[in-house]
Amino acid sequence: MQFSAIQNQDDTYLMHTYGRFPAALVRGKNATAWDVDGKQYIDFTAGIGVNSLGYSDPEWAKAVSEQASTLQHISNLYYSPVTTAAAEQLCKAAGLERAFFGNSGAEANECAIKIARKYGTDHYGPAHCQIVTLRNSFHGRTVTTLAATGQDAFHTHFTPFTEGFTYAEPNMDAVRAAVTPDTCAVMIELIQGEGGVLPMDQAFVQELAAFCDSNDVLLIVDEVQTGVGRTGSFYCY
């Protein structure tokens, strides 16, 4: 199928929510992808943080194929030995206690927001639900995670947004000023990805963690783009 035909099909049948580069990718291996015309590309973004093992990793492809031909999906009403084994490996590698499997980064962040608000309201009452996020951040494209995103450009067209978010510059003076008695959490990226690939200062993050701990404010670290080996350690934090 020629590129022009694929582009026409896209124009006809898909909602244009994303701008596209003029290339139709058809296969990949490791960090290299090929388009329909045979042109090669080196993918430095790993599919925007998705293909952490590269394209067509043989062990990954084998595992997916075997699982798809065994049991491709069950609901949360049943136990799954594959799921529980994966959760155990994830918790032990991350040094955390529990895992929740979501369908997307936005859903993972929404879960973290809900956990923080449940903790706040359970311990301090229904008003204790405010969350501070950083300017220039990006936390997802749902209505709630767009509200958590600290970029004005994302706050158009889709109002009204979920309430309860305050934005602060990435320094302790600004965060302290933004935290109130009703703040249940501070939410950060350790490397602001969509905002320009901007690493947080390590001293700031450590001081923020200590500040949150001493004030019983939860610290949410959004590692959708930096977690599971993408920065050289299992998690960037």
Question: Mean pLDDT in the chain?
Answer: 94
Q: What's the whole-number mean pLDDT along residues 214-225?
A: 96
Of the candidate ranges 115-119, 126-130, 159-163, the one whose mean pLDDT is the lowest: 159-163
> Residue 230: pLDDT band by 50, 70, 90 thresholds?
confident
Q: Output the pLDDT for position 46.
A: 84
Task: Label residue 50 by pLDDT band (50, 70, 90).
Answer: confident
Instruction: Of 194, 197, 200, 147, give the one whose Cα is nearest residue 171.
Output: 200
Q: What percent of the chain has pLDDT over 70?
A: 100
Give start and end residues of each alpha helix (H) in 103-224: 105-124, 143-148, 172-178, 202-214
56: pLDDT strictly greater than 90: yes
Which domains are assigned to the chain? 3-72 (3.90.1150.10), 105-221 (3.40.640.10)
pLDDT at residue 196 in the model: 85
Q: Which long-range contacts (CB under 8 A, 24 or more apart) does 194-200 make?
A: 194/138, 194/151, 195/136, 195/137, 195/138, 195/151, 196/136, 198/136, 200/170
Predicted confidence (pLDDT) per residue in 200-212, tens digit: 999 999 999 999 9
Interior CA angle at 85 toward 97 and 237, to 5°? 40
State mean pLDDT over 149-171.
93
Of 186 and 233, which is predicted with more confidence?
186
